[in-house]
């Protein structure tokens, strides 16, 4: 699955090029264009979904209040949307489809919706209090929030609030007005990953200090947590993973707050007073306006260091708006209009894909094994440029990597966009990471949370790269389908051993078909999901004889202790004059064998000790196939009659008398048919 727009699935290559303006560090700027405000202060801007137009709110009283529309092909003014006197617009946002424009009317205490497809027809709704200044849209674009009470009047203490409006599917209704003790002079509101909570900075009104509020905007509408900050004035807050970055205009710094504990972790000093802050689509770089000195600086939140700056802004910059791929940024000003800055020299988007072929990307926190990630090659990007040794996902090094053509980039850039497209003719770099190491690196997570994972590294010429893609956190069992139009987990297995009993002498067949196993020496241990069995020396599990059909697939998770054991059978499918079906290790490799008067073998590449692998072997009309971690690694064209009455089946040995497997086994299934590659991958992805 690929992530784009607000949090784009890209690898960004940071390139040090010549700079226009006093830029420094790795992020570089050039002026792409400018737009006149016609003498009016521009307080907020937003892009149309197709990025062809830019809308700007004018902070003006009389003779009229306006919203301006610009054509970005030539940065010309294409339309003026006029209001009456003293509407005074502090901000503007657009609906997901670009049809509706929303702007607050400061002196009229309401929110206007403009239908851009119906002659700019206008509808106004009260925000439920006075002085609405800013409008904010949730990441899923189903709600808008209006911060109100921005007046600073000591005699008017009870108008501070955030109003919540439903705009989903063309709706326009007020859901609630959430009263606050302090004044929400917040130029940027941020949200929890699940979109249920918003974070709002405030100025003192009924308390002597500024307070950071967490408010619930779904179901219950109200304050859920508050943090008294060691400052008076705060202008904006942005979330980066589980951290909240808060701009402190009094003390020239950014505060870093742990979202989970709701406590201050650290602070970052700046050369001047910060105003609005905005997170770049790469999910890592925080852009900060130093309003008093008309300067833009870039903070790398992975190191909390400044990596770029631009000092040719106009007077009093007010807002930051990125285009979808993060190659441009638009800055409106009180004086001078709007600047469009080109930052594409610093951010070259290259697609990455966590769990290729999966949508969404479920990440079960109880699962072990590997997490696959692909850096996708294209006509414009050769993955041979990458230094694989340098790569880290959330600071974790990959276990192994390989070059293959596995997927194509998503065609349409939307939030968490997915594609079912497979190989596209360009080589990709696929990486395997230890799941539990990644989960540990994430820290505290919640079930159902959509979380961005960040990939960093370097090219062979030492230029750094970075990228991100999202996963869906699972803490309450296994999903039964990959969703998003992808292949459903095949549930027509004849046997399924989850190994989740954790105790006792029996391995239950969870399919209900009664193919229970008897444990001989193997011991219970923690597994890929729940518990597993550990096999050492002469341990095995014996099963009944449930036949040997003409086609079959066996899947399981295995963690070998000794990959050099040449005949360690993790699965023995039974012997007759016709067939032996097993999977075992052989000289550091996995092997799959069928006996039909002669031995037919296929082998994997070398594997490692103490590492979980997803193993699948099938035979049938398409021959013998061996898969490791959802990838076909070996095949044989043999299509002889593998059916027979067979004998009893075994985990961990050949018939309980020889060829013992040293390692762990978990989550095993058997199908009496040959699964497709897509089905194998569905089993692998949906543990």
Whether 202 is covered by a domain: the verdict is yes
Residue 67 and residue 94 in contact, taking contact as beta carbons nearer than 8 Å: no
pLDDT at 672 over 60: yes
Q: End of a domain among 278, 309, 342?
A: 342
The pLDDT assigned to 360 comes to 66
Task: Name the pLDDT band for 356 (thresholds 50, 70, 90).
Answer: confident
CATH classification at residue 181: 2.130.10.10
| Burial call 442-466: b when 16+ CB within 10 Å, e when fewer | beebeeebbbbbbbbbbbeeebebb
CATH classification at residue 388: 2.60.40
Task: Report the C-alpha gap between 392 and 395 in whole angstroms.
Answer: 5
Task: Report the C-alpha gap between 504 and 324 in whole angstroms.
Answer: 55
Q: Is 465 in the same domain as 520?
A: no
Q: Is 385 in the same domain as 421?
A: yes
Task: Report the C-alpha gap between 527 and 502 in whole angstroms.
Answer: 10
Q: Give the pLDDT confidence of 141-150 residue by residue, as tens digits.
A: 999 999 998 7
Q: Is 606 in the same domain as 678?
A: yes
Whether 369 is covered by a domain: the verdict is yes
Whether 122 is covered by a domain: the verdict is yes
| Burial call 499-511: b when 16+ CB within 10 Å, e when fewer | bbbeeeeebbbbb
Q: Give the pLDDT confidence of 17-67 residue by residue, as tens digits.
A: 222 333 334 788 999 999 998 888 999 999 999 999 999 999 988 788 999
Q: Is 338 in the same domain as 380?
A: no
The pLDDT assigned to 162 comes to 96
Task: Report the C-alpha gap between 300 and 321 in whole angstroms.
Answer: 18
Per-chain mean pLDDT for the chain: 84
Q: Is 464 in the same domain as 504?
A: no
Number of domains in the chain: 3
Domain of residue 539: give its range: 495-685
Whether 3 is covered by a domain: the verdict is no
Task: Report the C-alpha gap between 389 and 386 in whole angstroms.
Answer: 9
Q: Is 440 in the same domain as 568?
A: no
The pLDDT assigned to 49 comes to 93
CATH classification at residue 591: 2.60.120.200
Task: Report the C-alpha gap between 654 and 648 in whole angstroms.
Answer: 10
Q: What percent of the chain has pLDDT over 70?
A: 86
Q: Is the dihedral of CA 115, 116, 121, 124 positive or negative?
A: positive
Start-to-end Cα distance in the chain = 17
Between 133 and 4, residue with greater pLDDT: 133
Q: For residue 442, report the phi and psi dihedrals to the nearest 5 degrees.
A: -75, -25
Q: Name the maximum alpha-carbon separation found in the chain.
A: 97
Between 308 and 355, residue with greater pLDDT: 308
Whether 11 is covered by a domain: the verdict is no
Q: Give the pLDDT confidence of 442-478 residue by residue, as tens digits.
A: 887 877 777 878 887 878 877 667 777 888 887 644 4
Q: Is 468 in the same domain as 529?
A: no
3-state secondary structure of 265: strand
Between 268 and 462, residue with greater pLDDT: 268
pLDDT at 512 over 70: yes
The pLDDT assigned to 338 comes to 97
Q: Is 199 in the same domain as 315?
A: yes
Whole-prediction pTM value?
A: 0.63
Q: Enter the tokens of residue 524.
A: 């219970």
Task: Report the C-alpha gap between 555 and 563 in whole angstroms.
Answer: 19
In 3-state terms, the chain is what percent helix, strand and coil (to 5)? 5, 50, 50
Q: Give the pLDDT confidence of 405-442 residue by residue, as tens digits.
A: 887 776 544 445 656 567 888 999 989 888 888 988 88
Residue 267 and residue 259 in contact, taking contact as beta carbons nearer than 8 Å: no
Q: End of a domain among 324, 342, 360?
A: 342
pLDDT at 120 over 50: yes
Q: Is 290 in the same domain as 423?
A: no
User: Scanning the structure block, which residue is given the tokens 């770049």?
Assistant: 280
Q: Is 222 in the same domain as 139?
A: yes
Whether 480 is covered by a domain: the verdict is no
Task: Name the pLDDT band for 326 (thresholds 50, 70, 90).
Answer: confident
- Tell me the CA distances in angstroms from 236 to 158, 275, 301, 334, 534, one per residue in order: 22, 7, 16, 18, 53
Q: Which of 181-190, 222-231, 282-291 has the highest mean pLDDT?
A: 222-231
Task: Report the C-alpha gap between 245 and 578 in whole angstroms.
Answer: 67
Q: Is 151 in the same domain as 37?
A: yes
Q: Which of 550, 591, 604, 594 is nearest to 574 (CA)?
A: 594
Q: End of a domain among 291, 309, 342?
A: 342
The pLDDT assigned to 245 comes to 98
Q: Is 272 in the same domain as 410?
A: no
Whether 1 is covered by a domain: the verdict is no
The pLDDT assigned to 681 comes to 84
């Amino acid at each position: 699955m690929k992530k784009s727009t607000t949090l784009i699935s890209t690898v960004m290559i940071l390139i040090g090029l010549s700079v226009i303006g006093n830029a420094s560090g790795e992020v570089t700027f050039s002026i792409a264009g400018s737009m006149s405000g016609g003498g009016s202060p521009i307080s907020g801007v937003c892009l149309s979904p197709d990025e062809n137009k830019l809308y700007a709110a004018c902070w003006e009283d009389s003779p009229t209040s306006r919203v301006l529309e610009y054509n970005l092909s030539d940065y010309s003014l294409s339309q003026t949307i006029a209001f009456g006197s003293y509407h005074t617009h502090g901000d503007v946002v657009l609906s997901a489809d670009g049809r509706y424009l929303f702007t607050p009317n400061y002196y009229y205490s309401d929110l206007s919706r403009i239908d851009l497809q119906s002659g700019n027809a206008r509808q106004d709704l009260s925000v439920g209090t006075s002085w609405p200044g800013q409008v904010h849209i949730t990441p899923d674009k189903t709600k808008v929030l209006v911060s109100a009470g921005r007046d600073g009047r000591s005699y008017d203490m009870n108008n501070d609030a955030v109003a919540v409006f439903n705009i989903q599917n063309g709706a326009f209704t007020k859901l609630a007005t959430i009263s606050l003790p302090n004044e929400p002079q917040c130029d940027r509101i941020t949200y929890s990953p699940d979109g249920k909570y918003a974070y709002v900075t405030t100025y003192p009104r009924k308390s002597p200090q500024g307070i950071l509020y967490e408010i619930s905007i779904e179901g219950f509408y109200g304050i859920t947590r508050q943090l008294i900050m060691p400052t008076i004035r705060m202008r904006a807050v942005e979330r980066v993973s589980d951290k909240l970055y808060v701009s402190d205009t009094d003390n020239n710094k950014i505060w870093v707050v742990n979202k989970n504990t709701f406590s201050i972790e650290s602070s970052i000093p700046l050369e001047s007073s910060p105003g609005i802050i905005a997170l770049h689509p790469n999910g890592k770089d925080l852009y900060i306006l130093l309003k008093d000195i008309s300067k833009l600086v870039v903070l790398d939140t992975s190191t909390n260091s400044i990596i770029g700056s631009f000092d040719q802004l106009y007077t009093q910059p007010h807002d930051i708006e990125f285009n979808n791929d993060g190659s441009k940024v638009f800055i409106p000003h009180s004086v001078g209009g709007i600047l469009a800055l080109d930052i594409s020299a610093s951010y070259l988007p290259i697609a990455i894909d966590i769990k290729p072929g999966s949508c969404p990307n479920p990440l079960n926190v109880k699962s072990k094994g590997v997490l696959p990630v692909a850096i996708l090659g294209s006509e414009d990007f050769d993955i041979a440029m990458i230094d694989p040794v340098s790569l880290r996902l959330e600071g974790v090094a990959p276990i192994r990597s390989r070059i293959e053509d596995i997927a194509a980039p998503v065609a349409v850039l939307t939030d968490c966009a997915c594609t079912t497209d497979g190989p596209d003719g360009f080589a990709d770099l696929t990486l395997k990471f230890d799941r539990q190491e990644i989960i540990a690196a994430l820290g505290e997570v919640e079930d159902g949370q959509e979380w961005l994972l960040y990939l960093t590294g370097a090219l062979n010429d030492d230029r750094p790269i970075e990228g991100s893609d999202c996963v869906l956190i699972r803490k309450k069992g296994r999903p039964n389908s990959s969703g998003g139009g992808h292949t459903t987990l095949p549930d027509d297995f004849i046997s399924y051993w989850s190994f989740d009993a954790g105790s006792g002498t029996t391995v239950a067949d969870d399919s209900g078909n009664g193919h229970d196993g008897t444990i001989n020496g193997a011991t219970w241990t923690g597994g890929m999901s729940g518990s597993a069995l550990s096999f050492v020396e002469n341990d095995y599990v014996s099963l009944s004889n449930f036949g040997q059909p003409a086609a079959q697939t066996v899947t399981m998770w295995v963690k070998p202790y000794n990959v050099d054991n040449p005949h360690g059978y993790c699965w023995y499918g039974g012997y007759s004059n016709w067939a032996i079906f097993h999977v075992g290790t052989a000289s550091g490799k996995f092997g799959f064998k069928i006996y039909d008067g002669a031995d037919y073998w296929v082998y994997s590449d070398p594997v490692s000790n103490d590492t979980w692998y997803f193993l699948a072997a099938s035979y049938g009309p398409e021959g013998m196939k061996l898969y490791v971690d959802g990838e076909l690694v070996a095949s044989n064209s043999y299509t002889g009659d593998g059916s027979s009455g067979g004998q009893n089946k075994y985990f961990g040995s050949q018939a309980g008398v020889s060829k013992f497997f040293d390692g762990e086994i978990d989550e095993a299934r058997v199908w009496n048919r040959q699964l497709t590659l897509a089905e194998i991958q569905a089993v692998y992805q949906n543990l």
